Amino acid sequence: MDMPIAAIVVLAAGTLAFRLAGPLFRDRVRIPPRLEDLLSVAALVLLFALVVTSSFAGWARPAGVLVAGVLAIRKAPFPVIVIAAAATTAVLRLIGVP
Amino acid sequence: MAMRSISRTALRDIALVCVADAIVGASFGAIAVSGGFDPWVPVVMSLIVFAGGAQFAAIGIVMGGGGVVAAVATGLVLNARLLPFGFAVADVLKGRVYGAQLITDETVAFALKGRDARERHDYFWVSGLALFAAWNVSVVVGALAGTFIGDTDALGLDAMFPAVLLALIMPALAERRVRVPVLVGGAIALAASTVLPAGVPVLLSLLGLLARPKEA
């Protein structure tokens, strides 16, 4: 698995630019509320797409993620959700589910 | 930087968020290293990117075979939401622009709780410095732990990455105006992943934004 340092630096520099724009240019530029809302929903759309596309491999992994989803809907504490997902997948693999 | 206006309740809230983020940070370090990255990758990334969602997205896409370009592009689109955050807390950073590195969902939420300029200033800086420390220390701990874990698939650790993200975004899905584009985007990404190379489907999910319900 490889992640070149240059890629991390580009991500960091771009992120810093987003962070600095407000403090540096707030006297000259205004962010329309609609753009602000669009950007925050866009972040959630991407994160959920990442959940979906990284969940499907065999049956044990999606089953673990499903358990996490149900627990999250029921407002279980964060560590419980994450450990339950891993445990479900691990137990299914132990009994031979791929 | 005198910190006089922080109440005991606010300090407790900040501590709780630090603990929660430390758990996420430790999972990030462990998942990255057990997924095959050298330990310096999650550690350096946490220091200079300091944005959990983008960090998870970047390593998740590379682990899924999606390539570095898609990983960086997705991370940048995710962090575009920090742009309006910077405007929201600009007054707090007057004269100390380096504090912009501390802008995250959590620190902005804390800062905006402040009733006046001084409270906003104190909330932002205390939560920002505490979270920066908690996040980076926990990522190092997680990365070190990850190097000792042998068969990560047998432990179900590959299910942890999507589970962490799901747990983080689920509360926001209670709102219909968020849920509809999120679900449509997820369906698009899933369909696209059957025919397109990894990484691209995640970016294509942004088409789900077109399905946003009109505000009443």
Q: How confident is the model over A23-55, as pLDDT tens digits? A: 999 888 888 888 888 988 998 999 899 899 989
pTM given for the model: 0.85
Cα–Cα dist B24/B32, whole Å:
12
In a domain, B2, yes or no: no
Same domain, B164 and B185: no
Looking at the fold, whether B159 and B187 belong to one and the same domain comes out as: no
User: Does one domain contain both B182 and B105?
Assistant: no
The two structure tokens encoding residue B162: 């999507």
What is the chain A residue with the closest CA to B93?
A23
Same domain, B159 and B112: yes
Instruction: Judge whether residue A2 has pLDDT over 90.
Output: no
Residue B3 is assigned to a structural domain of this protein: no
Closest by Cβ to A15, choosing from B51, B71, B156: B51
Same domain, B215 and B187: yes
pLDDT digits (tens, 9 = 90+) for B120-136: 999 999 999 999 999 99
Whole-number percent of chain B with pLDDT over 70: 97
pLDDT digits (tens, 9 = 90+) for A47-81: 899 899 989 889 999 999 999 999 999 999 888 99
| Number of domains chain B is built from | 2
Residue B144 and residue B211 in one domain: no
Q: Is the pLDDT of residue B83 over 80?
A: yes
Q: Do B59 and B157 share a domain, yes or no?
A: yes
What number of CA atoms fall less than 13 Å from residue B148's CA on the CB side? 4
Other C-beta atoms within 10 Å of B34: how many? 24
**Is the Cβ–Cβ distance between B47 and B147 less than 8 Å?**
no
Residue A71 CA, distance from chain mean position: 17
* pLDDT tens figures, A80-96: 998 999 999 999 999 99
Tell whether B124 and B149 lie within a shared domain. Answer: yes
Same domain flag for B125 and B59: yes
Q: Does B128 touch chain A (CB under 8 A)?
A: no
Inform me whether the pLDDT recorded for B33 exceeds 90.
Answer: yes
Smallest CA-to-CA distance from A47 within B106, B61, B22, B152 is with B61
**Which residues in chain A touch residue B43, judged by CB atoms under 8 angstroms apart?**
none
Task: Give B124 to chain A, closest Cα distance, Å.
Answer: 14
Q: Which token pair is B125? A: 């800086």
- Residue with more model confidence, A1 or B21: B21
Our count of domains for chain A comes to: 1
Amino acid at B123: Y
B2-6 long-range contacts (CB < 8 A, ≥24 apart) are B3/B122, B3/B125, B3/B126, B4/B118, B4/B122, B5/B114, B5/B118, B5/B119, B5/B122, B6/B119, B6/B122, B6/B123, B6/B126
Q: Out of A14, A47, A65, whose CB is closest to B159?
A: A65
Tell me the mean pLDDT in the region A12-18: 97
Higher pLDDT, B144 or A30: B144
- What pLDDT is recorded for position B54? 95
The mean pLDDT value of chain B amounts to 90
Burial of B111 (0-12, 13-18, 19+ CB in 10 A): buried
Any domain includes B163: yes
Assign B74 a pLDDT band (cuts: 50, 70, 90).
Answer: very high
Judge whether residue B1 has pLDDT over 60: no
Inform me whether the pLDDT recorded for B58 exceeds 60. Answer: yes
Task: Looking at the structure, tell me whether residues B66 and B103 fall in a common domain.
Answer: yes
Residue B199 is given by DSSP the state T
B residues 161-180 closer than 8 Å to A (CB):
161-170, 172-173, 177-178
Q: Are residues B78 and B121 in the same domain?
A: yes
Residue B57: per-residue pLDDT = 93
Same domain, residue pair B145 and B180: no
- At A20 the pLDDT is 96
**Where is pLDDT greater, at B33 or A57?**
B33
State the nearest Cα–Cα gap between A29 and chain B, in angstroms.
9
* Least confident interval from A2-16, B72-86, B145-159: B145-159
Q: What is the extent of the structural domain holding B200?
A: 175-216
Taking contacts as CB-CB distances below 8 angstroms, the residues of chain A near B164 are 82
Please identify which residue in the block is written with the tokens 């997924």: B35
Contact A80/B at CB under 8 A: no
